[in-house]
């Protein structure tokens, strides 16, 4: 099928939904919205946050730190999160209402213990690629539509990296939900708008 658009569904996993370890308010509202939207796309890619136990983004890996604090790692500041999306645990599974059947690719990210990975394209060192850009380019995909969790972290980082890589990028706002930590949602939108990300 010649369609130069892809739907990129970010981290619609149990731990980011109410009842999960890092619950995003309203996170469980997006699977059904995304299922509707995905019918219009020939290309659907899902991402899955996929951390080993003891991941350095977990506050529990640092004896003197609390969740939602910040530390400095070799690649820069890192927010510390509750343990979430641990490989093979129920919290790392896709939300049961998300229809994953039409996804052509599932990108797992955050599996290196020492580096977090918000973006679907690069780890948080902003230089180690996941391979997704090559996959999309080989298929002639130029335009990306993003949905999922969380707007101000993994969706925003993915959108910004996609722009940096030369893709047209739209964030489908009603199919995303935010963590909004200390105004992070407003900051994320400011950065996305400055980078030429549109709202769909
Ligand atoms: C995410 C924090 C930590 C996200 C993932 O999917 O937005 N946020 N890991
Ligand atoms: Zn994570």
49 Cβ closer than 6 Å to some ligand 1 atom: yes
pTM of the predicted model over 0.85: yes
Nearest CA to ligand 1 atom 6: 154
How high is the pLDDT of residue 1? 52
pLDDT tens for the chain, residues 1 to 200: 569 999 999 999 999 999 999 999 999 999 999 999 999 999 999 999 999 999 999 999 999 999 999 999 999 999 999 999 999 999 999 999 999 998 999 999 999 999 999 999 999 999 999 999 999 999 999 999 999 999 999 999 999 999 999 999 999 999 999 999 999 999 999 999 999 999 99
8 Å CB contact between 169 and 32: no
Residues 6+ apart with CB under 8 A from 41: 3, 5, 6, 7, 145
Separation of alpha carbons 100 and 86, rounded Å = 19
Atom of ligand 1 at shortest range from CA of 152: 7
Name the residue among 146, 121, 136, 137 with its Cα closest to residue 199: 146
150 Cβ closer than 6 Å to some ligand 1 atom: yes
**Both tokens assigned to 169:** 């990028």
What DSSP assignment string belongs to 115-127?
A: ----SSSB-TTS-
How high is the pLDDT of residue 117? 97
Radius of gyration, alpha carbons of the chain: 16
145 Cβ closer than 6 Å to some ligand 1 atom: no
Of 154, 179, 181, the one to substitute when testing ligand 1's pocket (max ligand atoms within 8 A of C-beta) is: 154
In angstroms, how far is the first alpha carbon of the chain from the final one?
23
Separation of alpha carbons 143 and 176, rounded Å = 18
Separation of alpha carbons 64 and 159, rounded Å = 33
Name the residue among 77, 43, 81 with its Cα closest to residue 59: 81
Instruction: Please give the torsion angle defined by the CA atoms of residues 173, 176, 182 and 187, in that order, rounded to the nearest 10 degrees.
Output: -40
Q: Give the catalytic positions in this structure.
A: 11, 109, 154
In degrees and rounded to multiples of 5, residue 189 shows phi and psi of -65, -35
Q: Ligand 1 centre from 2 Cα, in Å? A: 32
8 Å CB contact between 143 and 167: yes
How high is the pLDDT of residue 114? 97
């Amino acid at each position: 099928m010649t369609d130069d658009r892809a739907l990129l569904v970010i981290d619609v996993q149990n731990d980011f939904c109410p009842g999960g370890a890092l619950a995003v308010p309203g996170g469980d509202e997006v699977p059904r919205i995304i299922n509707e939207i995905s019918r219009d796309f020939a290309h659907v890619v899902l991402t899955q946050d996929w951390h080993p136990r003891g991941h350095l983004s977990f506050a529990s890996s640092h004896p003197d730190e609390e969740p939602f604090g910040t530390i400095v790692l070799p690649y820069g500041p890192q927010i510390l999160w509750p343990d979430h999306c641990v490989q093979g645990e129920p919290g790392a599974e896709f939300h049961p209402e998300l229809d994953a059947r039409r996804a052509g690719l599932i990108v797992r990210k955050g599996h290196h213990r020492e580096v977090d990975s918000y973006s679907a394209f690069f780890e948080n060192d902003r230089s180690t690629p996941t391979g997704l850009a090559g996959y999309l380019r080989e298929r002639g995909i130029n335009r990306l539509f993003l949905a999922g969790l969380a707007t101000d972290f993994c969706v925003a980082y993915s959108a910004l990296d996609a722009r940096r890589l030369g893709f047209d990028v739209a964030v489908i706002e009603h199919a995303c939900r935010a963590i909004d930590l200390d105004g992070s949602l407003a900051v994320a939108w400011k950065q996305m708008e400055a980078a030429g990300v549109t709202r769909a």
